[in-house]
Amino acid sequence: MLKVCIAVVQSTASRDGTLRSAPPGWEHRGVPTRLTALDSSFLHLEDNGAHMHVAAVMTFEGVAPAYDDLVEAIEARLHLVPRYRQRLAFVPLGQGRPRWVDDPHFNARYHIRHTALPAPASDEELKRLAARVFGQRLDRSKPLWEIWLVESIDSTRFAILSKTHHALVDGVSGVDIVSILFDPMRDPAPPAPPSAPWLPRPVPTQTELLAEALLERSTVPAEALRGVRKLTRAPRQVAERLAGGVAGLGSMALAGLSPAPRSSLNVDIGPHRRYTWVDADLRRFKAIKSSLGGTVNDVVLTAVSLALGRWMRGRGEDTDGLVLRAMVPVSVRAEAQEGALGNRVATMWAPLPVGVEDPVAAFDEVHRAMRGLKESGQAVGAETLTQLADFAPPTIMSQAARLQARQRFFNLVVTNVPGPQFELFLLGHRMLGLYPVVPLALKQALGIAIMSYNGRLGFGLLADFDALADLEDIAEHLEGAIDDLARVADADDRAGRTGPRRTPTPVAT
């Protein structure tokens, strides 16, 4: 559950406690469709210990609901996310990208798991469990998602772990799914029933899959002719878009010519993970950005940069003049595409000046760099490249994805996703915290995902188990960096709050 500097996604859940029926045509989106080149690339990247699923840890107040009640509640909403009952069908001989087909053996109880932490439990045990769950690859022969009900975090809370393959969903549409599967009130009206009982469509045979893929390939010239007709109908608008795309591609090429610097974050990784989180006040970040004159995302990137610099110096590493490079996914999802699954993301390469120790100087450098990146059109170039990749033969796409994963274009991923800014409930239990997960690529030992929820910012830190045994040190430095930014910006008086908390305190209701 990936997006930076965009508006909060419109939730399908209404504020009056009713769950709206699916948008027009939603159920038709469950019709089996071919993966885009970007979605398919996440399958090719899943190799040698790299797991390409996005995930989240969600904590709730009270005693965990009964497992059967949770299954029933989720099953009552599955018609709103039909992709959750579909699996991948692979084209023989790699002659086409995989497509989604209904799973005739779908069983929600396979995907909804149930476990409990040993007493006396705490956040530390939950983090260890989450790390183990996130270190396991999803079964490609079934729909690519799991939800874990975790009982007994002390005596006042329980947790839900969610895990969905990146080929199925990006961070933005992931926000929509969370809003659909949970309720905006403690006692909501029941969800709208499906228009008809779900019946899986027949799974195509291998011969049918191959024939369909070859037929689609033969129709690509027809698609090109349609594009030519569009050029003649609106030449000025097309020329402007082409100019922007070409400029963006040039900016991307310049960024890619200089590889990211070597660092202890870029080593061979294995399949096992460590996970921790930091919980912060969103109002505090808004007060910092208002005082220093930037954006919330500038504050996030600065805090990460300061934390990593302190962590590296604590390990005896030289950071003088060092600028790490973060891959920052940016949503390019149009308003009309809200609710649609699949990935609509582009990429920017954000500098992290870890050698700058002064919080204000670090913020100024990040702010200037991010403003320059937006003006350069890097994200537009990435979107253009992604669209062009849809016409590349699958074998080329597969090799290109693996090659990209082995290049040192970035040191880590930092992604910031705006989530629902109101309370969510699961079977009457209020959600307390929401901490996301971004997957690790090859030779990338750390990923940091940030998601806002109901006035909070949850930082989720996922790391390779062997490479970063001191992951908790990074989390502590991140807390300290946020405190220092708030101090120099006088943000605590502005926000009326104190510093970040590793875990939100339950509030009696």
Tens digits of residue pLDDT in 249-270: 344 445 455 688 999 999 999 9
Q: How far is CA 78 from CA 43, 186, 213, 424, 472, in A?
A: 24, 20, 29, 18, 37
Query: In sequence order, what DSSP letters do the residues of 171-199 get, joined into one string?
Result: HHHHHHHHHHHSBSSSSPPPPPPPSS---
199 Rama sector, left if φ>0, alpha if ψ -120 to 50, beta otherwise:
beta
pLDDT > 90? residue 174 = no
Task: Look at residue 132 in the predicted model and tell me its pLDDT.
Answer: 97
- pLDDT tens, position by position, 328-366: 876 543 444 344 444 345 577 889 999 999 999 999 999
Q: pLDDT band at residue 175, thresholds of 50, 70 and 90? A: very low
Cα–Cα distance measured from residue 253 to residue 493, given in angstroms and rounded to the nearest whole number: 44
Task: Look at residue 79 in the predicted model and tell me its pLDDT.
Answer: 87
Which residue would you say has higher pLDDT here, 493 or 387? 493
This prediction has a pTM of 0.79
DSSP state of 407: S
How many residues does this entry show for the chain? Answer: 509
Query: Mean pLDDT of all residues in the chain?
Result: 77
- pLDDT tens, position by position, 308-329: 999 999 999 999 999 999 988 7
Q: pLDDT band at residue 89, thresholds of 50, 70 and 90? A: very high
Q: Considering only the C-alpha atoms of the chain, give the largest distance between any 2 of them, rounded to a whole number of Å.
A: 70
Task: Look at residue 28 in the predicted model and tell me its pLDDT.
Answer: 40
Residues in a beta bridge with 267:
none
Task: Look at residue 349 in the predicted model and tell me its pLDDT.
Answer: 83
Residue owning tokens 């208002």: 290
Cα–Cα distance measured from residue 412 to residue 305, given in angstroms and rounded to the nearest whole number: 11
pLDDT > 90? residue 226 = no
- pLDDT tens, position by position, 423-439: 999 999 999 999 999 99
Q: How far is CA 252 from CA 5, 246, 248, 348, in A?
A: 19, 10, 6, 8
Cα–Cα distance measured from residue 114 to residue 149, given in angstroms and rounded to the nearest whole number: 5
pLDDT > 90? residue 301 = yes
- pLDDT tens, position by position, 99-123: 999 999 999 999 999 999 988 889 9
Task: Look at residue 179 in the predicted model and tell me its pLDDT.
Answer: 58
Cβ–Cβ < 8 Å for 127, 433: no
